[in-house]
Amino acid sequence: MVRNPTEDELDDIQGKWRYYNIATAASVTGFVRAYLYRVLCKAEGAIYCDTDSIKARRFSSLPVGVELGKWKHEFTGDYFAIAGKKLYADHIKGRPWAYDPKAENEEDKNWKIASKGANLAGLETAPQIIERIANGETIKYNPDVPTFSFWRDVPVFIPRDLRATAKDMTSVPNL
């Protein structure tokens, strides 16, 4: 007799009903990369790309909408400081220049800030700091919160050097 697994059995990560198919995961990742590449080929003046976003001057025949598989136009920017992967500051066109790290509503935000691994978005000077990094400066970052590890008895604060990840920033197109 064959039966379907219960919810508890599916939640048990060590149980016989739980498995991961690496080939399926690889094919999904490959498909998404190919899809992203096809969209990038349609972009004019692409300056940044991540797994779920593209920054470019213009797009031709890009499917935009709220349905699954379509792209969302989040904002039009007029200034971009890109220092590397997940490290950028984008000013939203038509909004005041001042950056408010406490702005919670999307309509109150003037900047889109990304700084994975360092909470720069919480600083009032985040756009200027990211611009300095993009221009080649190395910034010492001391985190406000500790890093926890299974291998250490106590949490520790790990300072970081933030620097641009591109080897040659002169190849970035001007807008």
Average pLDDT over residues 18-44: 84
Mean per-residue pLDDT over the chain, rounded? 87
Check residues 77 and 9 and name the one with the higher pLDDT.
77
pTM: 0.76
Mean per-residue pLDDT, 53-73: 84
Mean pLDDT of 82-103: 94
For residues 54 and 113, membership in a common domain is answered with: no
**The total number of structural domains that make up the chain:** 2
Among 24, 51, 73, the domain-final residue is: 73
Give pLDDT, residue 175: 44
CB 48 within 8 A of CB 82: yes
Measured CA to CA in angstroms, residue 23 lies from 14, 32, 50, 73 at distances of 20, 14, 23, 32
Q: Which domain holds residue 174?
A: 74-175
- pLDDT at site 95: 96
**Does residue 52 carry a pLDDT above 90?**
no
Backbone angles phi, psi at 49, to 5 degrees: -145, 140
* Closest by Cα among 7, 11, 91, 86 to 50: 86
Task: Report the chain's terminal Cα–Cα distance, integer Å.
Answer: 65
99 and 57 in a common domain: no
Pair 91, 155 in one domain: yes
pLDDT score of 100: 96
Same domain for 52 and 132, yes or no, is no
Q: What is the pLDDT of residues 104-141, one digit of tens each?
A: 998 899 999 999 889 999 999 999 999 999 999 999 99
Same domain membership, residue 113 and residue 41:
no
